[in-house]
Amino acid sequence: QVQLTESGGGLVQAGGSLRLSCAASEPILGIVIMAWYRQAPGNQREFVARITNNGYTTYTDSVKGRFAISGDYAKNTAYLQMNSLEPEDTAVYYCSLVGPDVYWGQGTQVTVSS
């Protein structure tokens, strides 16, 4: 069974940066979307960003201009560069790959202190 593993989370001060990575345990054919979601305590999981296999990107409004998603479809690896982090960005971040199935990682904690 394919597993996704996120890495790069941690504790950072407001205004700082983190780069998240997401890698699949084995090659997955037919991935068309790579995406990142996040879930803060007490909240539902929310969409953050996605990139299609033709390079089209979409972001939720709160991260536009601060976050950048990228992906290597040959390696089934997704990245999320997060700059100018705010305490409101504190959450568990999950990656998702969409193809013949929808794959989810276990999440990585991002904590932004004020």
**Percent of the chain predicted with pLDDT > 70:** 100
- Per-residue confidence (pLDDT) for residue 78, from 0 to 100: 96
| pLDDT-based confidence at residue 97 (cuts at 50, 70, 90) | very high
**Percent of the chain predicted with pLDDT > 90:** 89
SS3 readout for the chain: CCCEEEECCEEEECCCCEEEEEEECCCCCCCCEEEEEEECCCCCCEEEEEEECCCCEEECHHHCCCEEEEEECCCCEEEEEECCCCHHHCEEEEEEEECCCEEEECCEEEEEEC
pLDDT tens digit sequence for 25-74: 998 899 899 999 999 999 999 999 999 999 999 999 999 999 999 999 88
- Per-residue confidence (pLDDT) for residue 1, from 0 to 100: 84
pLDDT tens digit sequence for 73-96: 888 999 999 999 999 999 999 999
